[in-house]
Every structure is written in structure tokens, then in C-alpha cells.
Structure 1
Amino acid sequence: MWKKAIEDVLDKTRANINRFGDLFPHVSNNGKYELNANDEWTDGFWSGILWLCYEYSGDPVFKEAALRTVESFRSRLESNTKLDHHDIGFLYSLSSKAQWIIERDEAAKQLTIQAADVLLARWRPKGQYIQAWGPEGDPENGGRIIIDCLLNLPLLYWAYEQTGDEKYKEIAVIHADKSRRFLVRGDDSSYHTFYFDPEDGESLRGGTHQGYKDSSTWTRGQAWGIYGFALSYHYTKDPLYLETSKRLARYFLERLPEDDVVYWDFDAPIHADTKRDSSASAITSAGILELLTHLEADDPDRAFLEDGLQRSMKGLVNSYATIGQPDAEGLLDHGSYSVRGGNAPDDHVIWGDYYYLEALVRLEKGIKGYWYDR
């Protein structure tokens, strides 16, 4: 099953290289990807897809396209184009860091360390957190963290390993600890965002930007938490991160609907028009694959997690993948970007495509993503 799905991905990605040229896919409307010149937070996912396709197939057409994206990311960093956010890890882990992991290219390594410095600049020492969006002092976002940042922290952990500079790891750990304390609720659900006083770091309130309501559990946010805490455990071996990833994963899997692919928010009213988010199931599948590598064979949660992984991936492949749609640009149908905002609420999203492929190639060949050196 996995091999057939990957072959479909390879065919679509070859076609997309010609379709997209030097532009980057973001989200689609009516099945056609919106393209940009590398100025969105999502652009690393296209680069990551190309690198995964190259690793799996060895076809140089994927490597050539991937290298062009890395050069684009070099130009983006040099021109500081729309980097005033925390998603630097999404951008550079899957582009230049991927090149370093695969080829041990020194220039790619140095570019990735420079990107880690850009992320580090978002550290707010007064509040003791990495600010998610906007400039320092921003009246709306100056005190905001969001759960997505857990997937950006691996860039800092990796930079510590490469340089030996403790500041990268120290800041990543402080932020991960704060995320665990304030974004994860007692019932193992999660807030999307949390606000602090920028002057003293005093906790203010939880909230959401993408979810159904402030107190609800946005499924993609829960997915970021599952994978993100598993990655923090990989780097630090702090058992609290492993426990938190397991708790979030159990909450997610216990709420799978009949076809095993989640709705966009666990608390959204369910009716015929309720949107799904296939990307949340894809992220969670990739995250559980990472989580399982850290569990003992007799861990009491292993069988439940393995079953949930199989259910989720089979649900994606059988009912949401665009297999049999040769002209489709995306790999998964029914992803949602912003249901609340009405922006691509039910279409292809490039991060869903990436995590779907990452999970597939890990299942089929043991090829991991680009969140840490192998």
C-alpha cells in the first residue's frame, strides 16, 4: 500500500516541478496551488518534498529542483524577506538543513546556522519565550506563543549540536517547558496560543487563532504538539516531553472519526458541512512514527499508538489521497488552512502533502524527515 502511494507522489511531484518552476506552492483553491516567490511561512515544505523524493528514488530531477530551492532560501535570508515570525524552522530545516543531512554540504550547514540565529532573535528575555509573530513590542502579538513553534525548536537544538553554543539549546528548552506548562491542558488537550505579559512573563490567558474557539482543541495544533514534544525528547531525553507527546497522541487518536481522518477542530459541531483537516492526521502520523522510536517494546501505549498510526495512514491513503487523479497538484484532499478565516478551508495544503510523504517513506524505507541529523 505505502509503495503504491509513494509512486503516485513521485509522479505528481515530477509534474509539479514543471508546473511550479521556481515558485513555491502554499495552499490551493479549487484544486490549483497558489504560488509565491518564496515569501510564505510554508515554502520549506515544497523543498522538503523534493528532498524526500530524491532520497527515496535517487532521481536527480528531484535533487536539482531541491538545490534550486535552497539557493532561493539563501537569497531570502540575505534579503530578510518576510522572516519576522517564528517559522524559520519550517523554512530552513526542510531546505538547507535537509541538504546538509543528505550531502554534508558545508555551505548548507552554515546557511542553516544563520537561520537559527534569525529564530534566536525572536527570544524575548523579559518574558522568557520565543515570540510567534510580529516585531518586538507588537501590541497584539508581543506576548504570544503558539503550539506550532514546537516544530521550529529543532532548528535551535540542531544549531547547538553543530556549534556547541549553549544558548541555542537553553532557549529551546525554556520555550518547550513553557509550552508544556501553558499550552497543554490537564485533560491532555491543547491551546493553540497563549499570551504572556511581555514585561515580566506573567501568564495571561490561553486562546486560539485557527481553532473553533479559545477553549477548543484545534486538531492541527494538537498534531504539532505530538510531533514537537517527541522531537524535544529526541534532543534532550527529558522524560516529561515523551510523556506529554504520548498524552497528546492518545487524546488525538481516541477521537478519530469513522473514516479515521480528523475534523478541523475536536470541539467543532459535527454536521454534513464540517471541514476535515487531512494535514492534522498526516502530521500526527509522522509524529507518532517518531514517538514510537523512543518507546520500549513493552510500553503499555505502544499497541494503541501503532494501531492509531495504521488507521490514520490507511484512512489518508484510501480516502483522502489523490491517487487515481493524475492531474491533481496536491497529494491530499480536504486539508484546511483557516476555516475561521475562510482561507483554503477544504483543499490541498503543502504542509499536509509534506507530512503525508514523510510518514509514507518512513513506513516504507525508514527514511526520516529533516528535524535532526541521522
Structure 2
Amino acid sequence: MWSNAIENAVVKVKKNVAKHPGKLPHITEGQRYEWGENDDWIEGFYVGMMWLAYEYSDESFYKEAAESFLANFKDRVDRHVMLDHHDIGFLYSLSAVAQWRVTGSEEARSVALKAAETLFARWRPEAGIIQAWGKEGDPENGGRIIIDCLLNLPLLFWAFEQTGEQKYYDIAYKHALKSQKFLVRGDGSSYHTFYFDSQNGHALRGGTHQGYEDGSTWTRGQAWGIYGFALAYRYTKNESFLQTSKQLAHYFIQRLPEDNVVYWDFDVPLEQNTPRDSSASAITACGLLELLELLDTNDSDRQLFEKVVQDSMKSLADNYATTDLPDAQGLLKHGSYHVRGERAPDDYMIWGDYYYLEALIRMQRGIKGYW
């Protein structure tokens, strides 16, 4: 059922690699990527797409392309280039860990473990959090967490499995618990970000950086929560993480628009040109697919989650994918980056492309991502 969509996507990956050798995509305006160096938080998604394309097609082109970036990612973590943030999991789970999972490369494993140690260094014991952004002691961000970090925790859980060093598991587990307590509201909605006193860990306030307003629910944040808590359950078997993922999923599903692809925030007033976020729907599809693997066969939510995955992915493939645009660099139209900040409110998002392809290949072949 999904073959045409996948084939179109992997061909676009091949074209991008061929046209921009050694370069990585950055978000810009005008339905295109800007190709440059490895100095943002998003480059891992592109390499992850190469690994997915290789696993799907078995074409050595994709494997060789993905492997060619390992030295680049190694150099980045060795020199700590633009890594004063928590998105180290996004960068290295989809590049180095992916390469190790697919090929068994010891070099890739070593790079991934160095990245995990770099992420571990962002643990702030006084606040009991993994600091999201900035250097330790940052006056604005020293005690801040954001919901996106849930997708960075698998790198730490993986490092624990590889080394047996309990410290990796412990901080990932504690951070997931803190996120569950403070980022998830009682009705199943979520804060994007939460602030703690960096000296004593006292809770200060919830808020947003990219959502509509502090009390609103940014749809991509909700998507990170659905997938992130499902993954936390996979690694820890803490039943409450599974229930939280389901709770967030129900909130998301109950607010789907008619075409099953969300706007950028659940609370933004809807007008004719209100931006969508196709990437949020793609992430949520992956989260629901993860939940479906984790739930009991007789779970009452299975039928609903299966239907939503099918409906959302069909809408993405039929109405948002660039299938009819052979020269398009991105896979999904109408993704939003930072609408409030007027940064790429309606464009290609490389993470949206990655999760769209991950979901398609998981449905077609049962191949998971690299979390």
C-alpha cells in the first residue's frame, strides 16, 4: 500500500545526496533546504534517512553515503562543535547508533558512546534535570527542560545497555519522571518547556518557546511526548510512561482537524492561512506505531490508534508529500519550525521528512527507527 510513497521518498534522498555531496540540510525559506556544515541540531535526521533507505532498498549507495558522514560526526563531538544543548540524541542516535545497529561498526559505537557521555555532562544534579539549552549556569536556561528531550533519552538508555554503566540509565529515567510530572498537564496536554531553580530544583513555571502561548499546547511538543514516553516505557518498563504516552495520544487524536494533519498549535485561533505542522503528525504516527508494538493485543486503544495511523499517513502521503514534485528537496510540505519567531512557518522540515519515512517503512517492512 505504501510502496509508491516510499519509492518516491528514497529517490529524493538519493538525488539530494548526489547533488549536495558531503553537505547537510538546514531549514530555510522557500520550499528548499540550505546545504551546509554539521553545526545545527538537525543533521542526524538526514543521515537517518539514508540508513532507512538502505535498509529498505539494500542499495549500497545509501549505506556508503551514510557511512561517509561518520568521521564528520566524530570530529564534531570530539571538538564539541555547537553541542551546548540536549539534542545530541537527535544527532547521534540517527547517525552513529544507526550505523552500529545496521552494520555493527565498532567505530560508530565508539562515536555514539562519546556522544552519550557528552549528553550525560548536561545533567544538573541540583535541579535534577538534563539542561536543555546553553552552558551550565546560563542565567535564562540553567534550569530549563523542554519536552523534545524525551527523544534524546534513548541515546542514554542505549549507552547503559552497551556499557552497563548505571549512570546513563539513572539520569535518563529521572529526567523522564521529571518531564512526566511537570510537562504533562492533568488533561493530557503538555507544556513545551518548564523552568526550575537551577540551584535547588524548585519548580518555577511552565511555558513555551515555540508554541502559541505559555498555556497552549504546541502540537510538535505533544508529538514528542507521545513518542518519547512510549520509548521511555520500552527501555524502563515503567507502566506509568506507557499510560502517559496514551494520555497524550488521546489528547492529540481528539483534536485532529478534518484532514487528520494538525495545525502548529492546538490553541491557536484558526484562520485561512494558519500554518499546519505536517512534521508533528509524522512524529505522532511513529509514536502510535511504537505504542501498537507495546500494547497488549486486547488493549482497548489498539483499534483507534491503528485507524489514526492509517488515516494520518494516508493524508500525509496524498496531500502533503511531494510525490508530484520530482525536483523537490523535501518529502513533506507544510511543516512549521518556529511560527511565533517567524522562522520557516510553512516549509520542508528535515525531521518531518525523517519521521514520515520512518513511519512508512515501519508500516511496510516492520523496520523501526534507531531509537
Q: TM-score, normalised by structure 1?
A: 0.98
Please name the residue that 2:14 is paired with: 14
Instruction: Give 1:192 deviation, angstroms.
Output: 0.1
- The aligned length equals 371
| SS of residue matched to 2:206 | strand
Instruction: Give 1:26 deviation, angstroms.
Output: 2.2
1:296 aligns with 2:296: yes
| SS of residue matched to 1:29 | coil
Opposite residue 202 of structure 1, the aligned amino acid is H
Counterparts of 2:295 and 2:26 in 1: how far apart (Å)?
35
Deviations 1:233-286 (A, max 9, x none): 000000000000001011111111011100000000001010000000000001
Opposite residue 304 of structure 1, the aligned amino acid is L
Opposite residue 152 of structure 2, the aligned amino acid is N
The question of whether the paired residues in 2 share the 8 Å contact of 1:250 and 1:305 is answered with no
Counterparts of 1:29 and 1:23 in 2: how far apart (Å)?
18
| SS of residue matched to 2:334 | coil
Please name the residue that 1:2 is paired with: 2
Please name the residue that 2:262 is paired with: 262
Opposite residue 315 of structure 2, the aligned amino acid is G
Counterparts of 2:107 and 2:238 in 1: how far apart (Å)?
32
In the alignment, structure 1 segments of 5+ residues that lack a partner are none
Please name the residue that 1:72 is paired with: 72
Counterparts of 2:20 and 2:183 in 1: how far apart (Å)?
37
Counterparts of 1:288 and 1:112 in 2: how far apart (Å)?
27
Counterparts of 1:30 and 1:265 in 2: how far apart (Å)?
22
Trace 1:133-152 onto structure 2 (pairs within 5 A): 133-152=133-152
Counterparts of 2:26 and 2:296 in 1: how far apart (Å)?
38
Trace 1:205-244 onto structure 2 (pairs within 5 A): 205-244=205-244
Please name the residue that 1:174 is paired with: 174
Please name the residue that 1:120 is paired with: 120
Please name the residue that 2:329 is paired with: 329
Counterparts of 2:35 and 2:224 in 1: how far apart (Å)?
24
Opposite residue 294 of structure 2, the aligned amino acid is H
Deviations 1:207-229 (A, max 9, x none): 00000000000000000000000
Counterparts of 2:311 and 2:215 in 1: how far apart (Å)?
28
Opposite residue 258 of structure 1, the aligned amino acid is E
Q: TM-score, normalised by structure 2?
A: 0.99
Please name the residue that 2:91 is paired with: 91
Please name the residue that 1:370 is paired with: 370
Instruction: Give 1:79 deviation, angstroms.
Output: 1.6
Trace 1:271-310 onto structure 2 (pairs within 5 A): 271-310=271-310
Answer with 215-224 or 55-64: which moved more. Answer: 55-64
The question of whether the paired residues in 2 share the 8 Å contact of 1:183 and 1:194 is answered with yes
RMSD between aligned alpha carbons?
Answer: 0.7
Structure 1 segments, 4+ long, off by >4 Å, are: none
Opposite residue 114 of structure 2, the aligned amino acid is Q
| SS of residue matched to 1:345 | coil
| SS of residue matched to 2:83 | coil
Answer with 308-317 or 25-34: which moved more. Answer: 25-34
Instruction: Give 1:296 deviation, angstroms.
Output: 1.0
